[in-house]
A and B are shown apart, each in its own frame.
Chain A
Amino acid sequence: MRAGMTRRELLAVMAAAGAAGTVARTSSAWAAVSELVWATWDSNGHPEYVVDFEKQTGTKIKLSYLSSEDAQFAALKTGSAADWDMINPSLNGSWRYIKAGLLKELDLSKIPNASLMYDVFKTTKKAQNEAGKTFAIPYLWGLNPIIYRTDKFDKEPDYNTLFDAKYSGQLAMRDYALESIAIAGLVAGVPRDKVFTMDAKELGEAKKLLVAQKPHLRTYWQTIGDLTNLFATGEVTCAFSWRVPYDELKGKLPVGMAKPKAGVMGWCDCFAMPANLPAEKAEIAYKFVNYLLGPEYSTQVARVGHYATTSSVIRNKLTKEEQATIFIDDMDVMKNFMWPVAPDNYSDWLKIWNEVKAS
């Protein structure tokens, strides 16, 4: 396998050298195929997750961990991420990368495992431009549930619980306009498919609820480590959350995870290539995204990281408990998905959110 790759690399180098006619171009192309830089979250890209790919192809995956999605977008937009070969936009945020022309159009015929994706991801329009061309491949997903102390609540909480004076002083919301205003919108009765495009009147209703909620909150949480600490120290007993505090505190505290019927906030990470990625690198990058949707990565990330890929490839090989851990035991959950998408007037949302916080 290693020798085969070397020949291909050599051919690629010769082709590149022929086209450019310079020695410098030759060395650059060689380096390109022997290593790819993947900008991703540390939780998605543990070195052991990509070892199998490196063995199969002989191409080293150099991991470049992201600090935030905004930083990733800014780095691409300003051209300061020239060494990134593969990037990690969120499904919800892909549209702005596509609009800004930062992504390479993808040829799905080069990703055979894409056919194994769950329908909700396979059919999503969020990774396409208006002409229906695909620019990103959803590969990893999860849910943002409500985490609560099972010893403090008689029944499973829902979004209304987060606004209930009965639990005053024990609740927390994320300091994040998009999700918090959307949750208030749901409580105000806005349907989940309209909640991220609320009109001024609906936003006003959501704001009223959030202002009324404020005295009942212990605090707004900033990072997931922050919220885990709030649960661990007994400051908070119920919060809109990510699943991390549940994994961290299970066994130490009586904690539960609720998936509200009104709509479950989902997150999904995508694979994409920068628009100017050279063709020889793109060929290997196609193999890599195929690997992300294949059995090796899916198994590793499910068993080590407790995350599900968008591919059904290993679902039937997991135990019921392993399926439940990554939310794929009951596929009906996908019917309640909500994908938080920052609307065009997100600055107005931010103003409302800051008005709530300053009230």
Chain B
Amino acid sequence: MNPVLSRATLAVPVALLLIIGCVLPLALLLVFSFFTVDMDAFVMVPDFSGGNWLQMATKPIFGLLIGKAVLYGSVTAVLTACLGYPVALAIASLSRNAKSLAGVVLLTPLYTGEIVRIYAWRVLLGSEGLVNALLKGIGLIDEPLKFLLFTPFTTYLVLVYNTLPFMVLPIWISAELVDRRLIEAARDLGARPIEAFFKVTLPLTTPGLAVGLFAVFALAAGDMLTPSMLGGTSGSTPMALIDNLFGTAFDWPLASALALSLLMVLFGCASAMAWLLLRLKGARAVLQRGLQ
């Protein structure tokens, strides 16, 4: 048997699980979105008028909330890429022991629960928090800096902090796989360090960067807790509305239409990102080589 094919068969059970766990609920959401709620009998009844989808298309609030999720995802992904890339390269150039230590330190924040981290940020950034107390103590400010907490600044700061390991790890692994002789060859042929980086290192680490971008985009766009508990009055998300619609409002059909709309938009964004990345030579070269 073709060895690549036989390796692929190993993934079949997991792939099946993913299909069942993903496709079935989505199919259910699609069916629900063509229902309506009969509030007198308190049951859902089929309604093929497409009213829920019409609402998605015509009520600006849904587009606005989905747009916000995309914004959270993309801004966080770009910020973590800018911050995480140099960190990943730095880790890749450390000694073996230092790398192990760096890996542990990098993942330490993830060992605590999200809610613990949220309250820790409040202690740090609050009006009577550590940062404000420090700035006051050294005489830089008289009044606490209120923008530190419960603003979009806080949301992005914490989203970047929470998702940074998911950016650094894949880039670090990609960087480890780069054949150092290629960089040396580029330098021997007269490339300056910056040229060697842009022509060799960056293209060959694109797959890691891509994985990081996808992961961070999905995590940040789908986060409900951070915006709602640290973003103050600006922390609305489509997830919170979906939660409310499925819950107290018992409007499962509208919630289903919104959930699917959000998913389609996020999927579209991720596909566009993938398409753009695959146009880069480095990514194509690495991905085509695969596991021979």
Interface residues of A (CB under 8 A from B): 68-70, 73, 96, 99-100, 169, 175, 177-178, 214-215, 217-220, 222, 226, 229, 233-235, 342, 344, 346-347, 349-351, 354-355, 357-358
Min C-beta distance of B226 to chain A, whole Å? 12
| Smallest Cβ-Cβ distance to B119: which chain A residue | A229
B126 touches A233 (CB 8 A): yes
Among the stretches B60-68, B79-87, B263-271, the one at the interface with A is B60-68
Q: A169-B146, A222-B229 are in contact. Are A347 and B249 (CB under 8 A)?
A: yes
Query: A218-B150, A347-B251 are contacts. A177–B244 as well, Cβ < 8 Å?
Result: yes
Contact check: which of A100, A177, A357 meets B233 at CB < 8 Å?
A357
Chain B residues with CB under 8 A of A218:
150, 232
Tell which of A69, A96, A100, A351 touches B59, judged by Cβ atoms closer than 8 Å: A351
**B223, chain A: closest CB distance, angstroms:** 14
With contacts A214-B233, A235-B149 taken as known, whether A347 is within 8 angstroms of B254 at the C-beta atoms is: yes
**Given known A-B contacts A99-B40, A214-B233, A219-B150, A358 and B127 have beta carbons under 8 A apart:** no
Q: How far is the CB of B148 from chain A (nearest CB, A)?
A: 11
**Are B61 and A351 touching (Cβ within 8 A)?**
yes
List B241-292 residues whose CB lies under 8 Å from chain A. 241, 244-251, 254
Query: Which of chain A's residues have a CB closer than 8 A to the CB of B245?
Result: 347, 350
Chain A at the B interface: mostly helix, strand, loop or mixed?
A: helix
Please tell me if B11 contacts chain A, counting CB pairs below 8 Å: no
Ordered by A's residue number, 15 sampled pairs between the chains whose C-beta atoms are within 8 Å are A175-B228, A178-B248, A218-B232, A219-B233, A219-B235, A222-B228, A229-B119, A233-B126, A234-B127, A235-B149, A344-B39, A346-B248, A350-B249, A350-B251, A358-B64
- Tell me the minimal C-beta distance from A52 to chain B in angstroms: 35
Cα-based distance from A349 to B249 in the complex (angstroms): 9
Given pairs A217-B232, A342-B249, 10 additional interface contacts (CB within 8 A): A100-B43, A218-B232, A222-B228, A233-B128, A342-B248, A347-B249, A350-B249, A351-B59, A354-B61, A358-B236
Give 1 or 0 for each of B150-169: 1 = CB within 8 Å of chain A CB: 10000000000000000000
Nearest 3 A/B pairs, CB to CB: A70-B247, A357-B236, A99-B42
Check if B98 is an interface residue, CB within 8 A of chain A. Answer: no
Report the separation of the CA atoms of residues A229 and B126 in the bound assembly, to the nearest whole angstrom. 11
Question: Which of A346, A347, A358 lies in contact with B65, CB distance below 8 A?
Answer: A358
* Residues of B36-92 contacting chain A, CB below 8 A: 39-43, 59, 61, 64-65, 68
Point out the residues of chain B lying under 8 angstroms from A229, CB to CB: 119, 122
Q: Which of B199-255 contact A (CB under 8 A)?
A: 228-229, 232-236, 240-241, 244-251, 254
Q: Which of B42, B229, B232, B244 contacts A100 (CB 8 A)?
A: B42
Task: Determine if A350 and B233 form an interchain contact, defined as CB atoms under 8 angstroms apart.
Answer: no
Is B129 touching A233 in the complex (CB atoms < 8 A)? Answer: yes
- Which of B68, B127, B233 contacts A235, CB < 8 Å? B127
Min CB–CB distance B101 → chain A (angstroms):
34
**B177 interface contact, C-beta 8 A:** no
User: Would B150 and A355 count as touching, CB distance under 8 A?
Assistant: no
**In angstroms, how far is the closest chain A Cβ from the Cβ of B241?**
5
The smallest C-beta distance from B280 to any residue of chain A, in angstroms, reads: 36
B123: interface (CB < 8 Å): yes
**Cα separation A257 to B77 with both chains bound (whole Å):** 45
Q: How many Å lie between the Cα of A214 and that of B236 in the bound state?
A: 13
Chain B residues with Cβ below 8 Å from A354 are 61, 65, 236, 240-241
Distance in angstroms from A95 CB to nearest chain B CB is 9
The smallest C-beta distance from B181 to any residue of chain A, in angstroms, reads 53
| CA A349 to CA B59, docked complex, whole Å | 14
Chain B residues, Cβ within 8 Å of A100: 42-43
User: For the complex, what is the distance from the CA of A63 to the CA of B219, rounded to whole Å?
Assistant: 36
Residues of B close to A235: CB separation below 8 A? 122, 126-127, 149-150
Q: From B238, which residue of chain A is reached at the shortest CB distance? A: A354
Cα distance, A218 to B231, chains bound together (Å): 10
Which chain B residue lies CB-closest to A177? B244
Q: Which residue of A lies closest to B232 (CB)?
A: A219
* Residues from chain A with Cβ under 8 Å of B234 in the complex: 357
